Amino acid sequence: MRKNSLNHSLLFQGGILMLLFLLQFILPTYHHSSVSKIMLLASYAIGYNFLLGYTGLMSLGHAMFFSSGMYSMGLGIYYLELSPLNGVIFSASFSLMVSLIFGLFALRTSGVSFLIVTLMFGQTFYLSILYFNEFTFGHDGFSLAKYLGSFVIFGKEYLFSNPDIRYNFALLLLTSYLLITTFILLSPVGRILIAIRENESRTQLLGYNVFYYKLFALVLSGTFSGVAGAMHGLLFSYIGTTFAEIHHSISPLLWTLLGGAGTVIGPLFGTGIMYYLIDFISEITKNYLLVVGIVLILMIIWFPLGIMGSVRRKWLKWLP
C-alpha cells in the first residue's frame, strides 16, 4: 500500500513538475518571472507546511528562517567574498543552527504559547537587522548583482539574473523539496510526525520521544525556509528587511492553508493562487487586500481543508 502511494504521488508530482518545466518555453516575460518567484515562495511554504501540516505546530516567526538564510548568504558574499555556491551552503548551515537553537527554547512551550514565542523570536530577529544597520544596511537593503559574477555550464557563460537560469534553479529547488518531503512523510519518521499531530499524548505513551521528533521537524522546516530565502536573494539579487517582517511569516501560513495543510503539493497551489489573485486585484483597486480577504474567506468555506486537502478527501486518497 505504501509503495503504491509513493508511486502515485511521484507520478502526480512528476506531471506537475514536467508542466512547470515546459511552461518556461511558452510563457511571456512577465509570467516567466512570476512563476519563478512563485516556485521559490512555494519552496518556502513547503518548509512551513512540514511543521504545520504534518507536525501540527503553527509558527508566526518563519520569516526569521527565510531572512536568516537570505542575509547569511548575502552578507557572506558581500563581506567574506564567498562564491554563490558557498554562500548558499553557508546559509543552509546558518539556518540549521538558528532553527536548532530556536527549537531548543521554543519547543518547551506548546499551543498558543508556542505561537507567541515564535512571533517574539521573529520580531527580535527583524529588529536586530535594523539595529545593526551599519552591517546589514537596515531598511535600504542591498543588491548582490555586482558581486555574483557569472558561471559556466557546458562551456557557455551565464549570469544568475538570466531569466532561464532563475526559472530552472527555482524549479530545481522546488523539485528537491517535493521529493525530500514525500520520502520523509512516507517513511516511519513521517508517520510518527503525523501521529504527533493527531495525538501527541498517545504518541508519547507509545514510547516515542516527542520532543526530538518535533525538533527534527522544526530544524528541517527552518533549514528548508532558510535555503529558499538564500535562493530568492541569489536569483533576484536583493537582500532587504521586508523579508523579515511579520507579514512574511503570515504569508506561508495563508499559502499552506489555502493549498491544503498536510498535503505535499498544496503549498505550491496555494502560493500560485494567492500570488496571481493579489497581482490581478491590485490592478483593479487600491483596496485589493479587502477583496483578497473576501475571496479567501469564500474559498475556505468551499474548501475547508484547502484545495488539495479537499481533493484528497474526495478523489485522491493516496495523496501524501
The pLDDT value given to residue 2 = 59
C-alpha to C-alpha distance for 83 and 86, rounded to whole angstroms = 5
What are the CA-CA distances from residue 193 to residues 56, 198, 305 (Å)? Answer: 9, 9, 19
Pairing of strands 150-153, 238-239: unpaired
Residue 257 domain-assigned (yes or no): no
Residue 68 in domain: yes
Give average pLDDT by consecutive 10-residue segment, the chain, 320 residues: 71 95 97 97 98 95 97 96 95 97 95 95 96 94 89 80 94 97 93 95 95 98 98 96 96 95 95 95 88 85 92 86
**263 domain-assigned:** no
Burial (CB count <10 Å: 0-12, 13-18, 19+), residue 201:
exposed
261 in a domain, yes or no?
A: no
- The enclosing H or E element of 93 equals helix 84-106
Decide if 103 is inside a domain: yes
Residue 265 in domain:
no
Residue 142 DSSP SS3: strand
Domain range for 154: 2-245
CA distances from residue 292 to 48, 251, 256, 266, 278 in whole angstroms, order as listed: 22, 13, 16, 19, 7
pTM to 2 decimal places? 0.96
Q: How many CA atoms lie within 13 A of 254 on its CB side?
A: 20
Residue 81, phi then psi, degrees to nearest 5: 55, 40
307 touches 258 (CB < 8 A): yes
32 is a domain residue: yes
CA contacts within 13 A on the Cβ side of 238: 9
For 47-90, the pLDDT digits (tens) are: 999 999 999 999 999 999 999 999 999 999 999 999 999 999 99
Please tell me the total count of domains within the chain. 1
280 is a domain residue? no
